[in-house]
Structure 1
Amino acid sequence: MLETATADREKSVQDRRNRFGMRFGDPIFRILTLSFTILVLLILGGVIAILLEGSWPALRAFGPAFVWTASWNPVTENFGALVPLVGTIVTSIIAMLIGVPFSFGLAFFLTEICPHKIRQPIAIAIELLAAVPSIIYGIWGLFVLAPLFQHYVEPFLIATLGDVPFVGVLFQGPPIGIGILLAGLILGLMVLPFITAVMREVFLSVPPVLRESAYGLGATRWEVAWRVVLPYCRTGVVGGVMLGLGRALGETMAVTFVIGNAHRLSASLLAPGTTISSALANEFTEADGDLYTASLVALGLVLFVLTFFVLAIGKRLLLRNTKGTLA
């Protein structure tokens, strides 16, 4: 009887706790999460407001033509965002062309081919690359890769591809080492650990029975990767690629070291150039005059809008892939 009474009392206490949690805990949790959401939106709105306020003199002076104007002359106070905008897009595309295939190969190797004894050490080593400061990548690129590019890589590209119709225009000019191509390569190496880590995790989420069934039907490793693994986790793969692209678009110090920082628009990937982030890093402390400062802030606004559209496109792709998977 005593044990029964004790159990009933404990059950009654637990019931009261559950009712209290449902009565007060859920509303409090809902209010807290809503507050965090509103706070994030307020911070985002504050960033947009500050960018608009700081860039308004430049937007008022140059109008929408600021985006497609190539001139950048602080002496005559004539500014345009086209050169750094093109540099940002081109270096990011090069980074994706380098980083995504290598990341896919590394992730598939670590999950499907690599021996178990060395799988985890290699994965940790790749992920540690993400912890290397960007300025280290920039110094390494300037003092190690730039001389190699100047003496070996760029002369080879000029000699082999420089005279090819349509493609040759991308590989013309003197081999000076630093430039758009080297900056894109550095960015590709920087985004590689981020994309690889995400792809590896999503590849591990594929049920083993799917792989074993494909291998049992006689599929090769490439067929398993392309027709089984990738379709199953394409949403996560797209998310990893978007994460790497966002990293490439906003990188500053590493690009500043190796891109040449020249406000000149050239069709050659070997020529020096600039990006929005490197232009801000180089010139913000030297900006003299309200219009010069406002133009730099306007560059930041252009980068913000560009990143927003890239992430929106990535989200659109994720939603479409999710719907296709569910269908």
Structure 2
Amino acid sequence: MRSGSVSLLAGESPPGRRTDSVFRSAAALAAGVVLLILGLILVTTTRNAWPAFAEEGLSFVTSSTWDVAGAAFGTLAFTYGTLVISAIALLIAVPVSIGVALFVTEMVPKRLRAGVVMLIDLLSSVPSVVFGLWGILVVAPAITGVYTNISSAFSGIPVLRTVFSGAPISGRSFFTAGLILAIMITPIITSITRETFATVPRAQKDAAYALGATNWEMIRGSVLPFSRSGIVAGVLLGFGRAIGETIAVALVIGSSPQITQRLFSSGDALSAVIANQFGES
């Protein structure tokens, strides 16, 4: 004991402090490696993409003309398609995911909760190609009649008549791709949102009930405000998955690059055209 005190008085660091220093250095190194990898990806992508910008100029991102034979390359139609199907996916998936997460955390009995959570996690592990094949073989043919009925229902409304018209016979369209993406990203958003809802303090819920709040009023006044940041994080993760999805989108979007207001028309997306024309690049 006396020798340890003498060592500390002599200026030596205690063992716990040395361990903290090593841990801090290791964490900083790990963070540096991640930043280095991201930097290398950015540099490599910029270097390989520069010839296209040098040849086409700004028209590479502002033009919708994609003509391989004529050596004219514009990605605007693909960017438009990517954003449209991602927006459709989020509009469908976000409310469904929040509803499922609330159902799991607030309404499902505890003895059944683990099974429901397992099913949600299992859905998130299904490969993209399975969703794509299911979409092109089952969903697209089955949904064509639904598109026709929707087009007829909105035929008398000027704006919606244009948006919900032009359904292809094959069923491959912007909306079909967005629907498949919505099914794919729903488990991701649900899992993040559910974990966030589970962190709401029980005392905060009990306080709302003590004031006479109903179950919905407790959710609206206590759970949702407390979980706002977690919901946003889940939505961003889902958006990242949707905007980068390749195989499923390539199978169901139709591979017809165009900028149109018709959600039931065929289109194309950046990731899909990369996959479909990779052999020609």
Same fold (TM over 0.5): yes
Using a 3 Å threshold, how does the CA distance of structure 1 residues 174 and 185 change in structure 2: closer, same or farther?
closer
1:173 paired residue among 144, 152, 166: 166
Give me the whole-angstrom Cα distance separating, in 2, the residues matched to 1:118 and 1:27. 45
1:3-49 deviation per Cα after TM superposition (whole angstroms, max 9, x unaligned): xxxxx59x88xx9x971342x33333232222222222221111111
Give me the whole-angstrom Cα distance separating, in 1, the residues matched to 2:55 and 2:47. 14
Give me the whole-angstrom Cα distance separating, in 2, the residues matched to 1:162 and 1:219. 44
1:133-157 deviation per Cα after TM superposition (whole angstroms, max 9, x unaligned): 010000111111011111x211111
Query: 1:4 corresponds to which residue?
Result: none
What is the correspondence of 1:1-327 to structure 2 with a 5 Å cutoff? 19-22=14-17, 24-150=18-144, 152-176=145-169, 177-287=171-281
Give me the whole-angstrom Cα distance separating, in 2, the residues matched to 1:204 and 1:86. 37
Give me the whole-angstrom Cα distance separating, in 2, the residues matched to 1:268 and 1:66. 24
Give me the whole-angstrom Cα distance separating, in 1, the residues matched to 2:123 and 2:153. 33
SS in structure 2 at match of 1:167: helix
The number of aligned residues is 278
SS in structure 1 at match of 2:280: coil
Q: Percent identity?
A: 40
Verify the 8 A CA contact 1:155 1:175 in the aligned structure 2. no
Query: 1:291 corresponds to which residue?
Result: none
Query: 1:309 corresponds to which residue?
Result: none
> Any stretches of 5+ residues in structure 1 without a counterpart?
1-7, 288-327
Shift of 1:220: 2.4
Q: TM-score, normalised by structure 1?
A: 0.80
Give me the whole-angstrom Cα distance separating, in 2, the residues matched to 1:284 and 1:53. 18
Give me the whole-angstrom Cα distance separating, in 2, the residues matched to 1:174 and 1:231. 40
Using a 3 Å threshold, how does the CA distance of structure 1 residues 21 and 133 change in structure 2: closer, same or farther?
same
SS in structure 1 at match of 2:218: helix
Moved more, 39-48 or 95-104: 39-48
Query: Residue type of the partner of 1:212?
Result: D
Give me the whole-angstrom Cα distance separating, in 1, the residues matched to 2:13 and 2:156. 77
Give me the whole-angstrom Cα distance separating, in 2, the residues matched to 1:175 and 1:274. 14
SS in structure 1 at match of 2:158: coil
Shift of 1:218: 2.5
Shift of 1:174: 3.6
Give me the whole-angstrom Cα distance separating, in 1, the residues matched to 2:36 and 2:162. 47
Verify the 8 A CA contact 1:162 1:170 in the aligned structure 2. no
Verify the 8 A CA contact 1:261 1:279 in the aligned structure 2. yes
Shift of 1:74: 0.3
